[in-house]
Amino acid sequence: MSAIEHNAPAEPAAPATELSGEQFKFLFRQHPAGVCVITSADAEGPYGFTATSVISVSAAPPVLAFSVASGSSAWRRLQTTETLVVNFLDAEVAHLSTQFARRGTDRFAGVDTCLLDSGEPALVEAAAWTRGRIEHRTPAGDSFLITVRALSSRVSRSGRPLVYHDRSYHSLGEHSAIE
């Protein structure tokens, strides 16, 4: 029997034990994710962080979501933020993901941004971005799920999306298409 095949149990199974944090992380290292940088600004100035948890939730109305650890500096600032920008990265700007994941540095150093009319910084080099309004901050374990209503967007290019898989970056393109 292969690793993905299974038979139904003949009798009720004992209650499952919960995965450890390390087991759960290992599981999700096998699941590739797109890479975004979330940016916003508040009274302290601009801030941003890398997120691989961005998902599309609804097209009507347009809603997306991402998670953020409750102990992160980003969460402290997201608690009072009303609007933000989700910057979608491609392989051409993979360095931005690394830069916005670093702790204790000026993540905006050397990064071209444009301030939107509403005051949020958007990354000029991003393949695309969407500006949105935070609708919900839902506790989820040691993190928060942030749901965002998309208000406007810009797509600069489409080509080789940046994907994070098993602790490394990859790009998608014609070479990786399965037909």
- Contacts for 82 with CB less than 8 Å, ≥ 6 apart: 133, 134
Residue 90 has pLDDT above 90, yes or no: yes
Residue 46 clears pLDDT 90, i.e. is over it: yes
Instruction: Read off the pLDDT of residues 137-149 as tens digits, 9 standing for 90 and up.
Output: 999 999 999 999 9
Chain CA centroid to CA 48, Å: 11
Measured in degrees and rounded to the nearest 5, phi and psi for residue 52 equal -110, 10
More confident of the two residues 111 and 157: 111
* 159 HSE (CA, 13 A, CB side): 9
Evaluate if pTM is beyond 0.75: yes
| Strands of the chain, DSSP E | 33-34, 36-42, 45-51, 55-59, 62-69, 83-88, 113-115, 121-123, 128-140, 143-155, 162-165, 168-171
Domains and CATH numbers, the chain: 34-166 (2.30.110.10)
Predicted local distance difference test score (pLDDT) of residue 162: 94
Place of tokens 């967007």: 153
pLDDT at 158: 83
Sign of the dihedral through C-alpha 139, 105, 97, 43: positive
